[in-house]
Structure 1
Amino acid sequence: MRVDAFDFDLPPERIALRPARPRDAARMLVVQGDAMSDAGVRDLPSLLRTGDCLVFNDTRVIPAQLEGRRGDARIGATLHKRIDLRRWQAFVRNAKRLRVGETVDFGAGVEAVAEDRLADGSVILAFSGDEPVELLLERAGTMPLPPYIAGKRPTDADDRSDYQTMFAREDGAVAAPTAALHFTPELLAALEAAGILTETLTLHVGAGTFLPVKADDTDDHVMHAEWGRIDAATAERLNAVRARGGRVIAVGTTSLRLLESAAHDTGEIAPFEGDTAIFITPGYRFKAIDGLMTNFHLPRSTLFMLVSALMGLETMQSAYSHAIDEGYRFYSYGDASLLLPQR
């Protein structure tokens, strides 16, 4: 499909620069088949059925944004995929001033050697010393806010907690699974009381999620791979939910993409561990999920393509037009949508 089919105009004032407080006070647009209704995140227990299961991503965002110097050149790096204990793949700003074999000093005793340059323009950085890289990043790194927020205000201390979900425990993401930012212990308790189940999986979200689609046709776009894991016990419980007639509702596109990567054509979810570069566009047949809770996405983005594949392009164009007209807040710190396709 042509990428411009997924374009729409978004007024800049609709981009949220801070999250709702408390988190579960955000608004939520509910799309069921072709019908739309305005609700709030706190209404979620009444919008789902007893026996449904919400699936969260427990990845934890690391301070993966680094600023340093190579000689007199300023070098910026955003880590986006771990290779091994000391090496990370990174998008590098001012990369023309950095040659393979040169060292970048990121301050606070943190240095990395540019070990290789890949075909997509990213650089493999090998961190020096014996300290775990996670400790180095805690000293020298900052939270990698999306460019549409970072371009309007500096990262601050609040972002250390605001840009982390309550489920975060597995270090490795450089972007938050933002749909889960809306959840609080109080909301989880209300969901449990309503008989709604929860499960977690892990997908380490990479910075590639922020990259624009530069191709004119979706067939020509290449997704960056991200590492994920679903253990056998979780897969078994999710299959049991559907066998009992419950619905598997992914919380966030990251959870959805990993579930679909792990599913057989029969719809059975298998244990999974490894990289996935799944790219979901209209025409895709969903196998593992029955619904999605997600935030509002960028024009022409792979994520708007994904929700259009789930609900239909015309439905999502109408839903986003309604959200803009009604003052919903967009993107990572914005409001939510609950998408329930008719099966």
Structure 2
Amino acid sequence: MTFLLGFLLVTIAGLGTGSIAWPIKVMRRFQFEQWWFIGMVVGLLIMPWGITLSSVPSVFAAYGAVDPRLLIKSNIFAFGWGIANVLYAISVVRIGAALTGAILSGLGVAIGVTVPMIFKGTGLFSQAPDLESPACRTVLIGAGMVLIGVLTVSIAGFGRERVFRNTRESSGGFMSGLIMSIAGGVLSCGLSFAFVYSQGPIVKAMKEQGAGNIPANIAVWAVGLLGGVLVNIFYPAYLMTRKKSWNVLMESRRDVILAVIIGLQFITAVTLMGRGMLLLGALGASVGFGIQQAMQILGNQGVGFISGEWRGVLGAPRKQMYIAITILIVAVMLMAYGNMLIQNT
């Protein structure tokens, strides 16, 4: 039952992060910098810290009991994740969304699944089996299938762009865009690693102060994502300053509400991911992230289908997308099976 709940949580988390952009489809005034600024202020600061401060007695005493080096490490990972978001935005302009998404997702899955098997995480994750174990080999095969699914998604995406004649010239610097997307793929794992390599001691310290499971979990994100704040909030703030567009924030109450929803959906999704990882057990850092990433890709495509991005696209691109979805679902099942192998040993 615990395994099924963990599987369900990381699945919902992936669909949540994958569909997080849906409010953008109905915004009227906000550009990237406005909705991302509000969304991340809500998702990275207001919600996690509001819940932590109101739910954990003596919260700063609890943080003070944690090795500061661990907190620094967590925030370095989060900072890297923030950089990955910026690199993604730049790479989309230079080399296109399909190729950028394929590189980021592919590298993210490969690194995010494999690294916790080699360099063990904290708490429960420190008990993860070695790469040579049947469970880990099965999970790695599943991660490999995710890579194949990502490749198929990107091929379908290129086909869709050709249908819509979106073969615009890039904005220059294809090679630099390629390098940025590769770097972004490596750094994108920082969101998961910020939790995996800090949650054990932080959760323990919070529970010693009387916190429940959920507040203790959120407390990990509250302090661990501060590094991400430096990029995810200050970068859009810089863009608004450069464009002199701070006033746009006051021009549409509707868009403000939609941006707040983005932030709420973000922190809800990452909280579910962290809790789901723990419920999946010792291998949850790898399996949970792999499943979450696969479902995130499915969530991306779901929003695309619902919003009409694939309307009028028939033939090979649509078939390729259906094949990719099937591959990703099989990959999720395979990684879940790999996790069950360790549960049964």
TM-score (norm 2): 0.29
Higher relative contact order (CA 8 A, sep 6+): 2
Structure with higher helix content: 2
